[in-house]
Amino acid sequence: MELQLLNAIVLIFGISLIVGLLFNPLRIPPLVGFILTGIIVGPNGLGIVQSVEEVNILAEIGIVLLLFTIGLEFSFAHLWQIRKMLLVSGSIQVFLTFLVSFFIATLIGLPFAEAVLLGFLFALSSTAVVLRILHQRGEMSTPHGNIILGILIFQDIIAIPMIMAIPFLASISAPAAVQAFSMESLSSMLTIDILILVILVVAAKWGVPWFLYQIARTRNRELFLLFIMVTCFGVAWLVSLAGISLALGALLAGLLISRSEYSHQAIGSIVPFRDIFTSFFFVSVGMLLDVGFLLEHLGLVLLLIVGVIAAKGLIAAVVPVVLGYPIRTITLVGLALAQVGEFSFILSRSGLDYGILSPESYQLFLVTALITMAATPFVIGGGPMLSDRLRRVGFLHRTLDARRPIQEPQREPLREHVMIIGYGVTGRNLARAAKVGGIPYVIIEINPETVRKERALGEPIHYGDATTETVLVHADIESARIAVIAINDPVSTRQIVEACRRLNPSLYIIVRTRYLIEVAPLQDLGANEVVPEEFETSLEIFTRVLNKYLIPKDRIEGLTAEIRSDTYQMLRNPKEHPPTLTDLVYRLSNVSIVTYTVDPASPLAGKTLGEINLRKRHDVLVLAVLRGEQTITNPGGETEILPDDIVIVLGMPEPVARASVLFQAPPREEGTPA
């Protein structure tokens, strides 16, 4: 058995590598390659791998680790902030999709129980696939990312009562199949749920932070990783006792640790394992596909795929419409949730076991669901282009983008003002600074809830998608002096820069972005300054390192200015610049900085630095003198050296070593009384 599993792992990795190398030049996402690998090696393909159950176990571990790291990157506080979005958006999407699916199934003559089950199956989307794609695209913190996250979490929660409802559905046609499912077992399950909830609350408040601190004190990486793994799988197992999925339990485990200061280290420790095991999930999904069944029912399958993607996409798009978001967000949310989810596989298998689904219906659903999942990267990737085309449709633009869900007061046109696009941390700090400096400013924000709150506090904030020209014109872009773009969506950032430059050629555009690689494209589109978070972090570290080497402040500032000059060209293409920093560090590597305590009997005690003249006579430089609580920096020639002073000297190792005797009491000659 062990050898069979090892063979399966080697084959899966080997074929995945070959497929990945072939797909990479074509820019086909790795996710599709993993699914194709599963189709090739699975029992319905070439039949190379037969140990499907073992692969499914590895796949389950991958999903657990994926949801665990997502939980680490968020927090209960963040979920509380999006609670309204989670409940409202999730309930709208799930119940609308369920009703439409149920109605269509009933219309074509399916039994009631099967129609309800199909409503359950198509109401759910793939948490694993969608969140992985959003994470790779850097869109988790965008407005559409928050809506999608809220809906997916709601789906994972609502999947629990769906699973519990299957025995009741089966009882409609086969009461004997559910005799064991009584009110007594239901009350027992509720008791377990409450007990587990209490344990999790206590662990989140006291248990996990205390244990993390104790383990972090040991500075043992193996112990830290072991505790993270135990927390991840332990909480997932504990929650599964209540009938909740392991994946949702892992998400809760990540949220428990996300509150601590060790969450970033935990993510770094888990990510390699997550990426490896998550690939098994997508391979296992591909193994389920029956190619023969697909070819036999190709027309029906294609019709179902198009119908599912179109129907689910349109229904999911209703959510941001209701919440007041513009066309771009509406389009991206709809496309991201247009596939069938992994929890639907569990529900469909349970429906097959209980006799609700026929084997033919089960296989038809599997083929449809798998292909919608495999198509998800391409569907999401086409979102920006589709949203651009939809915004050119006059009716949609007037109805969705040009609407004003928040009543805006009449105001005088602004001139020479700052436009702040995006009201996150950067936007808030900039608005505060502008207010203190008496600089006129206007804010554009896409989140209607944020706009309502800040408008009530008196901020000059306007709702709108800044990729739309009418929104920019409404904010008086033609007469603005500066535009600061600080949003998390890289695609929207580029579109906004292009629109701003087109509407106001003299506008000074400053953009905050995440990575240095995005600097050049944004400048090509018209940005005057691009501030990458990655670069500024590295510059701060660089400055602190030089401070520790006691490099003069003016020299550090000069080097910093040199790096910043020419729009970061020194970092992007270091060969074009002299290695100033490298030379400096190399020279410093042979320099000694030493502290000496002045003995009361030292020949230096009571003399000034001018009288001693250490620099000329001994080739060492006095940097500072520590005298009790007082620190004398950059001491001059008039500075007197007193007994018990601590003198900091700098020089080459040999002169510094020779100078040490000057700070000591002179050696006593033999026979001299003590």
CATH assignment at residue 639: 3.30.70.1450
Which of 42-46, 407-411, 537-541, 601-605 reaches the highest mean pLDDT?
601-605
Question: Looking at the structure, do residues 281 and 380 belong to the same domain, yes or no?
Answer: yes
Q: Which helix (H) or strand (E) holds 482?
A: strand 482-485
418 pLDDT tier (thresholds 50, 70, 90): very high
Residue 26: is its pLDDT beyond 90?
A: no
Rounded to the nearest 5 percent, the helix, strand and coil shares of the chain are 70, 10, 25
> In angstroms, rounded to a whole number, what is the distance separating the alpha carbons of residues 367 and 620?
79
Q: How confident is the model at residue 326 (pLDDT cuts 50, 70, 90)?
A: confident
**Has residue 599 been placed in a domain?**
yes
- Give the residue-averaged pLDDT of 313-339: 90
Give yes or no for residue 333 having a pLDDT over 90.
Answer: yes
pLDDT at residue 313 tops 90? yes
At position 493, the amino acid (one-letter code) is T
528: in domain: no
d(CA 229, CA 645): 53
Q: What value does the mean pLDDT take over residues 535-554?
A: 69
Q: What is the CATH number of the domain that holds 164?
A: 1.20.1530.20
Over residues 49-62, mean pLDDT: 74
Kindly state the helix (H) or strand (E) to which residue 201 belongs, with its residue range.
helix 183-202
Exposed/middle/buried for residue 565 (C-beta within 10 Å: 0-12, 13-18, 19+): exposed
Pairing of strands 630-633, 621-627: antiparallel
Percent of the chain at pLDDT above 70? Answer: 81
Please say if the pLDDT value at position 261 is more than 80.
no
Rounded Cα gap, residues 565 and 576, in angstroms: 13
- In terms of Cβ atoms closer than 10 Å to its own Cβ (0-12, 13-18, 19+), residue 334 is buried
Based on the fold, state whether residues 249 and 270 are members of the same structural domain: yes
Average pLDDT score over the chain: 79
Would you say residue 410 lies in a domain? no
Handedness of CA 97, 98, 99, 104 (dihedral sign): positive
- The Cα–Cα gap between 396 and 330 comes to 11
Considering the domain architecture, whether residues 503 and 600 belong to the same structural domain is answered as no
181 and 87 both lie in a single domain: yes
Query: Which H/E stretch holds residue 368?
Result: helix 359-381
pLDDT (mean) for 283-299? 83
User: Is 597 found in the same domain as 573?
Assistant: no
| Same domain, residue pair 544 and 581 | yes
Q: Is residue 644 within 8 Å of residue 630, measured between CB atoms? A: no
* pLDDT for the residue numbered 577: 41
Examine the domain organization and report whether 283 and 426 are in the same domain: no
* CA 176 and chain centroid, separation: 48
Whichever domain contains 422, its CATH number is 3.40.50.720
**Strand-strand pairing, 592-597 and 646-651:** antiparallel
Q: What is the pLDDT of residue 580?
A: 43
CA 414 to chain centre: 36
Q: Rounded mean pLDDT of 472-484?
A: 90
Residues 573 and 466 in one domain: no
Is 17 inside any structural domain? no
Question: Helices (DSSP H) in 595-651: which residue ranges?
Answer: 609-612, 614-618
- The reply to whether 261 and 357 lie within a common domain is yes
**Most confident option among 4-8, 432-436, 536-540, 579-583:** 432-436
- 327-336 vs 359-381: helix crossing angle, rounded to 10: 140
- Residues 107 and 245 reside in one and the same domain: yes
Report d(CA 93, CA 315) in Å as an integer.
Answer: 6
Residue-wise pLDDT tens digits, 607-657: 888 888 888 888 888 888 888 878 887 788 888 999 988 888 888 888 888
Instruction: Tell me, yes or no, whether 36 lies in a domain.
Output: no
Confidence of residue 211 (pLDDT cuts 50, 70, 90): confident
Which runs of consecutive H residues, i.e. helices, occur in 241-358? 246-258, 263-287, 291-296, 298-323, 327-336, 342-353
- Encoded tokens for 377: 């990267």
Q: How confident is the model at residue 565 (pLDDT cuts 50, 70, 90)?
A: low
Q: Is the pLDDT of residue 410 over 70?
A: no
The yes-or-no verdict on residue 347 having pLDDT over 60 is yes
For residue 407, tell me if it sits in a domain: no
Number of domains making up the chain = 4
Q: How confident is the model at residue 562 (pLDDT cuts 50, 70, 90)?
A: low
- pLDDT of res. 581: 44
* Residue bearing the bigger pLDDT, 403 or 140: 140
Q: Per-residue pLDDT averaged across 68-87, rounded?
A: 71
Residue 597 is assigned to a structural domain of this protein: yes
C-alpha span between 63 and 274 (Å, rounded):
8
- 565 with 646, same domain: the answer is no
* pLDDT score for 187: 58
Contact between 338 and 308 under an 8 Å Cβ cutoff? The reply is: yes
Non-local (6+) Cβ contacts of 115 within 8 A are: 101, 102, 105, 106
pLDDT digits (tens, 9 = 90+) for 99-146: 999 999 999 988 988 999 999 999 999 887 888 788 777 777 788 888
Query: Could you give the CA distance from residue 122 to residue 369 in angstroms, rounded to a whole number?
Result: 9
Would you say 277 and 65 are in contact if contact means Cβ atoms under 8 Å apart?
yes
Alpha carbon distance 407, 419 (integer Å): 20
b/e for 402-434, b at 16 or more Cβ within 10 A? eeeeeeeeeeeebeebbbbbbbeebbbebbeeb
Is there a domain that residue 624 lies in?
Answer: yes
Task: Give CA–CA dist 101/125, Å, rounded.
Answer: 14
Lowest mean pLDDT among 81-85, 175-179, 379-383, 540-544: 175-179
Of 358, 391, 424, the residue at which a domain comes to its end is: 391
* Apex 546 CA angle, 554 and 561, nearest 5: 45
409 vs 347: which has the higher pLDDT: 347
Least trusted range by pLDDT, from 405-419, 594-608, 611-625: 405-419
- pTM of structure: 0.61
Of 8-17, 583-592, 626-635, the least confident = 583-592
Residue 562 and residue 606 in one domain = no
Which of 173-182, 202-211, 273-282, 507-516 comes out lowest in average pLDDT?
173-182
* Separation between Cα atoms, residue 657 and residue 560, nearest integer Å: 34
pLDDT at 207 > cutoff 80: no
Determine contact, residues 388/324, Cβ cutoff 8 Å.
no
Q: If we measure between CA atoms, which residue out of 522, 562, 510 comes closest to residue 571? A: 562
Residue-level pLDDT at 98: 95
- Boundaries of domain holding 599: 592-663
Tell me the pLDDT band of 484, cut-offs 50, 70 and 90: very high
pLDDT for position 159: 79
